């Protein structure tokens, strides 16, 4: 039989860092993804507890997947975004903390919760992270979320249903299924160049959600060119882009 401490030591000896080893063991015990970090305090007091055989087998499987480079969020089945516990898997990109800036930005543009209800469009919604975070913070807003992938929209729909946050999901490439105008269009589109050497570290995530042509700007070009037709007067377009793409994106917006 294997104890908690022995299982953790074995995972670290195999090359896993301490945080991942801890979180994966808790996940193997059935702790929900959103509660994993808080539950770490359980481990030191139970170092000598014997793990049930099925839990240890599950843990070893989790460890193998993580060592193979699979994102932690996929292994445990969830990722927190803007305080919301989202289900994520290989059908969608793992939500990044940097993307929360887009949510902050939209909320700052329309800070009056008692003001007129706004219409917002999330392009390339993936797991639904941005759309659901905004609906959570501004329940009166009407939010549409678009993705070309039916598989990604299934994840977004599951998250919306579980969190009881009603957003309208539309399938199609960028503006193709859109028939309305909006106060604000938000997008975290693919913006990585197809030959970027860092892509190898992201091999488990959907390439369609990451890459956009030779310079990474193909999708941003399309969105910038088409957005005016779908914005209400005085509306805003908010985009995430790569750390070195600022001048190029500014030039596109100014054209």
CB distance 4 to 51 below 8 Å: yes
Each of the 255 residues of the chain gets a pLDDT tens digit; together they read 899 999 999 999 999 999 999 999 999 999 999 999 999 999 999 999 999 999 999 999 999 999 999 999 999 999 999 999 999 999 999 999 999 999 999 999 999 777 788 999 999 999 999 999 999 999 999 999 999 999 999 999 999 999 999 999 999 999 999 999 999 999 999 999 899 888 888 889 999 999 899 999 999 999 999 999 999 999 999 999 988 898 999 999 998
CATH number for the domain whose boundaries are 91-254: 3.40.50.150
| Contact partners, residue 218, CB within 8 Å, separation at least 6 | 212
Domain limits of the chain? Answer: 4-76, 91-254
51: which DSSP letter? P
What gap in Å lies between CA 210 and CA 104, rounded to an integer? 22
Residue 201: per-residue pLDDT: 85
Long-range pairs, 161-167, Cβ under 8 A, ≥24: 162/87, 163/84, 163/85, 163/132, 163/136, 165/132, 165/135, 165/136, 166/135, 167/122, 167/128, 167/131, 167/132, 167/135, 167/143
Residue 46: per-residue pLDDT: 95
What gap in Å lies between CA 46 and CA 106, rounded to an integer? 44
Token representation of residue 30 = 């059935």
CATH number for the domain whose boundaries are 4-76: 1.10.8
């Amino acid at each position: 039989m294997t104890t908690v401490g022995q299982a953790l030591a074995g995972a670290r000896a195999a090359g896993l860092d301490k945080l991942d080893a801890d979180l994966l063991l808790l996940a193997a015990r059935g702790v929900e993804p959103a509660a994993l970090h808080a539950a770490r305090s359980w481990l030191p007091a139970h170092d000598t507890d014997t793990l049930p055989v099925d839990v240890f087998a599950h843990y070893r499987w989790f460890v193998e997947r993580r060592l193979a480079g699979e994102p932690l969020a996929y292994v445990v089945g969830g990722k927190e975004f803007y305080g919301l516990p989202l289900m994520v898997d290989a059908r969608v990109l793992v939500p990044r903390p940097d993307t929360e800036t887009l949510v902050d930005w939209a909320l700052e543009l329309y800070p009056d919760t008692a003001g007129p209800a706004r219409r917002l469009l999330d392009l390339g919604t993936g797991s639904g992270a941005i759309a659901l975070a905004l609906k959570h913070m501004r329940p009166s807003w009407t939010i549409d979320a678009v993705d070309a992938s039916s598989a990604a929209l299934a994840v977004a729909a599951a998250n919306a249903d579980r969190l009881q946050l009603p957003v309208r999901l539309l399938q199609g490439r960028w503006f193709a299924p859109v028939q309305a105008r909006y106060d604000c269009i938000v997008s975290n589109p693919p913006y990585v160049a197809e030959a970027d050497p860092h892509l190898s570290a992201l091999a488990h995530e959907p390439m369609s959600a990451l890459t956009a042509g030779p310079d990474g700007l193909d999708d941003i070009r399309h969105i910038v060119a088409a957005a005016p037709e779908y914005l209400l007067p005085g509306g805003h377009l908010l985009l995430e882009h790569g750390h070195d793409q600022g001048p190029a994106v500014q030039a596109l917006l100014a054209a």
